[in-house]
Structure 1
Amino acid sequence: GSSHLPQQLKFTTSDSCDRIKDEFQLLQAQYHSLKLECDKLASEKSEMQRHYVMYYEMSYGLNIEMHK
């Protein structure tokens, strides 16, 4: 009777390890895609800031011209 216990325990431990490994890989994949999304947003943000500065300079220049 009790000689089956360690084998059963080993099996469930191995099962748990596999499940943890799968979940970890899933989390890694999610992390990777979130990181890509984050990088994309960061580059879009700096692009927007660049445009904003450009438009600001243009409107400032126009303002100066208008008041001459």
Structure 2
Amino acid sequence: MKTYTTVLGDTWDMIAFKIYGKEKYAKELVESNINYVETVIFSAGTVINIPEITETVDTSSMPPWKR
């Protein structure tokens, strides 16, 4: 599993955006780092685990030329 070392002022959603490009994965980060669940704003130097996330796209409702 990959890790990320926080910088002063990092938050879960900021880290998710830095790593995955989307804030919506903050929940997965928290679940992988349960020891820091109560942390809202990180200090510098905290090492957290970065889970691998694979996003699937439901193409069933897309028109054929976008599948």
TM-score (norm 1): 0.19
More helix by share: 1
| Structure with higher RCO (Cα < 8 A, 6+ apart) | 2
Structure exhibiting the larger radius of gyration computed from Cα positions? 1
